[in-house]
């Protein structure tokens, strides 16, 4: 049970005790009411009032709602003399919560909260406390029961935690075992006493003591959370494993509700833990899988081969967070990636490096490639010293003609050729890294950064043997070519990007535009979309992350297939993303 739920229960118990003491006092004065209303009913009424009141003060979150409803149902059953089973109480509490907040069913916290209590009901409370034993043995029994409860919740929620977050907290059970009793039996009572002390005495000594204890606790929790062993990343399960786990969950709860033999519960548990099995999604030798992530108005492209992972750009800053924390890292965990082999930063604009610091802090990275590193170092220093220290030792400048091969997949930089020693902010787009990738079956992808019209025309001229107007010399790059099945549009499809020359030279089947939904720049611009539609021979199909969400490209035996989030993973509550202009 969550801490807030435990607090509600504790306060309800305190209110019940106060109510019982007051009613017994009234009975001793021989008041008529005390002769026909049992003290247990009065205590139950006080418990209901206390639980609901404390839940309201605590913000009425779902754990507090659940506990308040459960206390209310139990209290009403006690007042009416009705026996209510724990599973019936839980089911009724869930029904009432959903009746009050139907959209709560979409909350991960809703399911984790109710399922945690359901596991406790299913497993029981563990070994009973020996009432007539000595103080030491009873204390050990209490600790044993508390440990049993904590580990039951941890293990019970393990598959769901992996399914929802692709992570397992290794310090969570220890942290909860410390935090729950400290907050419940020290901080909360001291804070409540401090309120009374402040009101009647004018002193705040108890409040200061509670704050001090809580501060020390938070420091310990913050320290434990940043330890290298604190979190274990785990690949997300397949849908088949999720289906098996769902059947297992039905068996576990069904056998509990119907009183069936315990062996059925064990079988159900085995099915539930199918969620822990990683999904096999690794490309074969010579093949690649590309995910163009929906990071809003920015760029982030993940390229996976059989044994290696390459990331092109890290997306923008998103309010108090960034694209790495919200999108890139969860995607990497989903695929079971524990190390980035290559990080390519096309250029140092914030919509391409906004998630760099968070990514480097959370994901070990072997090498980083960029057109220049001065801006990257400056950005990391502004973020934190830890982020600056996490910069990979292997740092390479991207230059036209550089090639390498990974698992049978070929990578080659086509631009920039000879950038100036220092790239200013106004020159960043012009000198973006342009990367072409080709697998063993001929599948190809062209990543263009934010290069403007003039630069992409120069790029085309360079590869068809014309003179480079900037350098006045012929650049012969042996074997280089621009033709690509998939072209990622430069600069999010802006008006000043993606020339007819580049469309002609690349001759793509698909043009992918990474842009934010209804972004303030109006990307992609209608003139750019018109240029794509007017492309020679066959006009390429346009894929847009602002309308279709994340786009996944897979090349298998030379055949290209694509999936987009809004078509293949859409939920019923998702609204249609219409291509409407910004007024």
Tens of pLDDT, residues 38-67? 888 888 899 899 888 888 877 787 778 877
E strand segments, 126-243: 167-169, 231-233
Q: In this structure, is residue 120 part of a structural domain?
A: no
Q: In this structure, is residue 232 part of a structural domain?
A: no
- Is residue 317 over pLDDT 70? yes
List, in order, residues 6 or more apart from 174 with CB less than 8 Å away: 224
Q: In this structure, is residue 294 part of a structural domain?
A: yes
Structure tokens, 327:
């999108």
State which H helix or E strand residue 469 sits in.
none
- Is residue 35 over pLDDT 90? no
Report d(CA 212, CA 207) in Å as an integer: 9
For 404-425, how does the pLDDT look when each residue is reduced to its tens digit (9 = 90+)? 999 999 999 999 988 777 888 8
**Residue 542 and residue 562 in contact, taking contact as beta carbons nearer than 8 Å:** no
Report d(CA 298, CA 354) in Å as an integer: 9
User: Three-state DSSP class for 562?
Assistant: strand
- The residue ranking higher by pLDDT, 397 or 245, is 397
Task: For residue 424, give the CATH number of its domain.
Answer: 3.60.15.10
Task: Tell me the pTM.
Answer: 0.70
Lowest mean pLDDT segment, chosen from 201-210, 308-317, 426-435, 458-467: 458-467
- Paired strand residues for 321: 318
Q: In this structure, is residue 347 part of a structural domain?
A: yes
Report d(CA 28, CA 34) in Å as an integer: 8
Backbone angles phi, psi at 268, to 5 degrees: -60, -40
Selection from 35-39, 462-466, 482-486, 510-514 with the highest mean pLDDT: 510-514
E strand segments, 327-391: 340-344, 365-370
- Paired strand residues for 310: 303, 342
* Long-range contact pairs involving 242-245 (C-beta distance under 8 Å, separation at least 24): 242/163, 242/275, 244/271, 244/274, 245/159, 245/163, 245/271, 245/272, 245/273, 245/274, 245/275
DSSP 551: E
Lowest mean pLDDT segment, chosen from 116-130, 145-159, 199-213: 116-130
Which residues in 177-200 are b (16+ Cβ under 10 Å) and which e?
bebbebbeeebbbbbbebeebeee
- Give the per-residue pLDDT at 129: 46
Instruction: Determine the distance from the C-alpha atom of residue 560 to the mean position of all C-alpha atoms in its chain, rounded to a whole number.
Output: 29
Report d(CA 474, CA 483) in Å as an integer: 20
Structure tokens, 40:
């247990």
Report d(CA 12, CA 5) in Å as an integer: 11
Which residues in 549-576 are b (16+ Cβ under 10 Å) and which e?
bbbbbbbeeeebebebbbeeeeeeeeee
Residues in the chain: 583
Q: In this structure, is residue 541 part of a structural domain?
A: yes
- The residue ranking higher by pLDDT, 515 or 135, is 515
**Among 106, 127, 142, where does a domain finish?**
106
Domain that residue 372 falls in: 289-568
Helices (DSSP H) in 390-433: which residue ranges? none
Q: In this structure, is residue 177 part of a structural domain?
A: no
Lowest mean pLDDT segment, chosen from 45-49, 99-103, 207-211, 400-404: 99-103
Structure tokens, 1:
């049970």
- Give the per-residue pLDDT at 471: 43
- Is residue 382 over pLDDT 60? yes
**Residue 509 and residue 485 in contact, taking contact as beta carbons nearer than 8 Å:** yes
Backbone angles phi, psi at 476, to 5 degrees: -100, 110
Structure tokens, 481:
């070519």
Report d(CA 432, CA 423) in Å as an integer: 10
Q: In this structure, is residue 179 part of a structural domain?
A: no
Lowest mean pLDDT segment, chosen from 198-202, 476-480, 493-497, 513-517: 476-480
Report d(CA 336, CA 547) in Å as an integer: 27
List, in order, residues 6 or more apart from 569 with CB less than 8 Å away: 549, 563
Determine what percent of the chain is predicted with pLDDT higher than 70.
Answer: 79
Report d(CA 574, CA 566) in Å as an integer: 8
Report d(CA 125, CA 156) in Å as an integer: 14
**Among 106, 138, 169, where does a domain finish?**
106
- Is residue 72 over pLDDT 90? no
- Is residue 494 over pLDDT 80? yes
Report d(CA 333, CA 232) in Å as an integer: 10
Pairing of strands 289-292, 301-304: antiparallel
Report d(CA 107, CA 113) in Å as an integer: 10
**Among 76, 106, 136, where does a domain finish?**
106
Selection from 98-107, 276-285, 339-348 with the highest mean pLDDT: 339-348
Rg (CA), the chain: 31
User: Three-state DSSP class for 314?
Assistant: coil
Task: Label residue 581 by pLDDT band (50, 70, 90).
Answer: very low
Q: In this structure, is residue 233 part of a structural domain?
A: no
Instruction: Report the domain count for the chain.
Output: 2
């Amino acid at each position: 049970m969550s801490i807030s739920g435990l607090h509600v229960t504790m306060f309800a118990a305190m209110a019940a005790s106060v109510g019982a003491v007051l009613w017994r006092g009234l009975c001793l004065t021989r008041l008529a009411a005390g002769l026909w209303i049992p003290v247990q009913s009065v205590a139950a009424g006080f418990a209901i009032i206390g639980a609901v009141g404390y839940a309201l003060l605590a913000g009425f979150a779902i754990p507090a709602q659940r506990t308040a409803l459960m206390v209310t149902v139990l209290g009403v059953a006690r007042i009416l003399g009705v026996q209510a089973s724990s599973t019936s109480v839980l089911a009724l509490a869930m029904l009432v919560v959903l009746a009050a907040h139907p959209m709560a069913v979409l909350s991960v916290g809703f399911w984790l909260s109710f399922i945690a209590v359901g596991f406790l009901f299913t497993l029981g409370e563990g070994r009973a406390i020996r009432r007539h034993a000595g103080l030491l043995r009873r204390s050990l029994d209490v600790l044993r029961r508390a440990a049993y409860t904590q580990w039951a919740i941890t293990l019970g929620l393990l598959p769901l935690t992996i399914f929802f977050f692709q992570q397992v907290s290794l310090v969570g059970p220890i942290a909860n075992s410390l935090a729950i009793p400290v907050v419940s039996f020290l901080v909360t009572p001291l804070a409540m006493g401090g309120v009374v002390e402040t009101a009647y005495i004018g002193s705040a000594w108890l409040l200061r003591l509670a704050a001090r204890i809580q501060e020390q606790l938070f420091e310990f929790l913050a320290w434990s959370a940043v330890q290298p062993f604190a979190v274990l990343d785990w690949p997300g399960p397949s849908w088949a494993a999720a289906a098996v786990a769902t059947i297992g969950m039905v068996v576990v709860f069904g056998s509990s509700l119907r009183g069936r033999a315990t062996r059925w519960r064990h079988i159900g548990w085995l099915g539930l833990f199918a969620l822990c099995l990683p999904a096999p999604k690794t490309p074969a030798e010579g093949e690649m899988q590309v995910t163009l992530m929906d990071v809003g108005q920015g760029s982030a492209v993940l390229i996976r081969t059989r044994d290696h992972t390459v990331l092109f750009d890290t997306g923008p800053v998103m309010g108090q967070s960034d694209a790495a924390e919200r999108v890139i890292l969860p995607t990497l965990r989903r695929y079971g990636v524990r190390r980035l082999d290559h990080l390519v930063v096309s250029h140092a604009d914030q919509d391409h490096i906004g998630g760099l610091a968070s990514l480097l802090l959370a994901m070990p990275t072997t090498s980083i490639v960029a057109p220049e590193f001065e801006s990257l170092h400056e950005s990391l220093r502004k973020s934190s010293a830890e982020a600056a220290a996490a910069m990979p030792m292997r740092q390479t400048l991207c230059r036209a003609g550089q090639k390498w091969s990974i698992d049978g997949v070929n990578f080659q930089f086509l631009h920039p050729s000879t950038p100036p020693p220092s790239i200013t902010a106004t020159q960043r787009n012009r000198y973006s890294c342009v990367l072409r990738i080709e697998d063993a079956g001929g599948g190809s992808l062209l990543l263009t950064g934010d290069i403007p019209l003039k630069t992409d025309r120069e790029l085309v001229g360079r590869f068809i043997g014309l003179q480079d107007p900037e350098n006045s010399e012929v650049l012969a790059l042996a074997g280089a070519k621009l033709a690509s099945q998939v072209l990622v549009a430069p600069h999010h499809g802006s008006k000043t990007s993606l020339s007819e020359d580049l469309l002609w030279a690349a001759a793509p089947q698909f043009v992918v535009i990474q842009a934010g939904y209804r972004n303030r720049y109006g990307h992609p611009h209608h003139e750019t979309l018109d240029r794509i539609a007017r492309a020679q021979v066959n006009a390429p199909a346009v894929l847009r992350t602002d309308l279709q969400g994340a786009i996944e490209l897979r090349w298998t035996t030379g055949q290209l297939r694509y999936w987009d989030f809004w078509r293949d993973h859409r939920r019923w509550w998702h609204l249609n993303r219409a291509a409407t202009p910004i007024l």
